[in-house]
Amino acid sequence: MKYIDEFNDPSLARRLLDEIRATATRPWALMEVCGGQTHSIIRHGIDQLLPDEVELIHGPGCPVCVTPLDVIDKALEIAARPGVIFCSFGDMLRVPGTDRDLFRVKGEGGDVRVVYSPLDALELARRNPDRDVVFFAIGFETTAPANAMAVHQARRLGLTNFSLLVSHVRVPPAIEAIMTAPACRVQGFLAAGHVCSVMGTAEYPELAERHGVPIVVTGFEPLDILEGIRRAVRQLERGEHRVENAYARAVRENGNPAAVRMIEEVFEVTDRNWRGIGRIPSSGWRLTDAFRAYDAEHRFDVTGIRTEEPAECRSGEVLQGLIKPTECAAFGTTCTPRTPLGATMVSSEGACAAYYLYRRMNDTPTPQAARAAREEMNPVA
């Protein structure tokens, strides 16, 4: 497949690795922001191929993982109501709420549907005028243009039975929060390529300057990730801290202006809670007043939510890059993809799930065990 195969070439990967090895003379800690990058790094064993000087810290860029527990509980409550069709991306199904998940709500009779695109949810609303169709609008800047278009179309079509339960988050305020945390060890960032495909790179120079960290916009294939690391290490060795674009084939400096315009028409910046991390100022989007009628939190009066996280789950520390998944006592014992304690064990972009799928196989080398681990990752399929 064009634009994928070429960026997986093993001989070019070796050249990049040699170059990184030749460049790094001191220990450096880099954070990859996006969960898609974490998945790719663990899947291809990139962290294990790097020289000892370069450590990758996994960031909070898994949208499923950072969706706060009270919003999950609200989703579960709304999804269980008669007359509601609750639509979600597939990887939210098994994310644990306080006492159940969407999968269980469906088992108990709730009408929960998995959709590929928010426009599919909109189509369900059009076809079922007597039902209330709610779409669980989570995600980073990458997903916001799609969700914004869905609600924009709903208004244009005059659909009154469609709403969004919004829990959108933004990357730059998360970088700010990570850099100002007391235990921060991060010295450079691989910024999330597809977030920048939408938003461009204008939000990052100020962060790089103020915190003295290189920020390298990075793609998702192995060569992309190695190139992001190479550029970040080169800057660090030279004492530089600039924004560089190592994913130029998909990222322009001004992003996608049409998509940004739609986001700004439909959403406004708000403070948000991140699961496992806490409140980050200006780190999210909510619907503007003009679209308030499409806000599920306003449409459905959901009160009496009392959240409780399992005490032994350390996903918050994993999300902040303070520990690796394997340092949690519950990892692979009481917490597995079949019985997840935290969202990081559910989504394929969660660090715990990636480690469980690809690292546990080091101890279970038979093909049967590998297959069993894979099936466990996809119990619904």
Partner 1 sequence: MCLAVPGKVVAIDDSTDPLTGLIDFGGVQKQACLEYVPDVRVGEYVIVHVGFALQRLDEESALASLKLFEELGLLEEEFGDAWAQAAKEAGTP
- Where along the sequence are the contacts to partner 1 (CB under 8 A)? 1-4, 6-7, 9, 12, 15-16, 18-19, 22, 34-36, 61-64, 89-91, 116-120, 138-140, 142-143, 145-146, 149, 153, 192, 194, 197-198, 220, 223, 227, 246, 248-252, 256, 258-259, 262, 347, 349
Residue 109 C-beta: closest distance to partner 1, Å: 26
* 3-class secondary-structure state, position 28: strand
Nearest CB to partner 1, comparing residues 40 and 184: 40
Nearest CB to partner 1, comparing residues 157 and 329: 157
Strand 111-114 to strand 132-139: parallel, antiparallel, or no bridges (unpaired)? unpaired
Nearest CB to partner 1, comparing residues 5 and 301: 5
Helices 222-238, 35-43: crossing angle, 10 deg rounding: 100
Give alpha helix (H) positions in the chain. Answer: 10-23, 35-43, 46-49, 63-66, 69-79, 102-107, 118-127, 144-157, 171-180, 193-199, 205-211, 222-238, 257-266, 296-299, 315-319, 351-358, 367-377
Residue 238 C-beta: closest distance to partner 1, Å: 17
Nearest CB to partner 1, comparing residues 2 and 26: 2
Residue 351 C-beta: closest distance to partner 1, Å: 14
- Residues facing 164 on adjacent strands: 135, 295
Nearest CB to partner 1, comparing residues 12 and 293: 12
Nearest CB to partner 1, comparing residues 252 and 298: 252
Angle at 108 between CA 102 and CA 112, to 5 degrees: 40
Residue 49 C-beta: closest distance to partner 1, Å: 15
Looking at residue 315, its amino acid is: S
What are the CA-CA distances from residue 149 to residues 127, 146, 218, 265 (Å)? 18, 5, 26, 10
Residue 374 C-beta: closest distance to partner 1, Å: 17
Nearest CB to partner 1, comparing residues 227 and 302: 227
CA gap 179, 228 in Å, rounded: 19
Residue 292 C-beta: closest distance to partner 1, Å: 23
Residue 366 C-beta: closest distance to partner 1, Å: 29
Q: Name the DSSP class of 335.
A: B
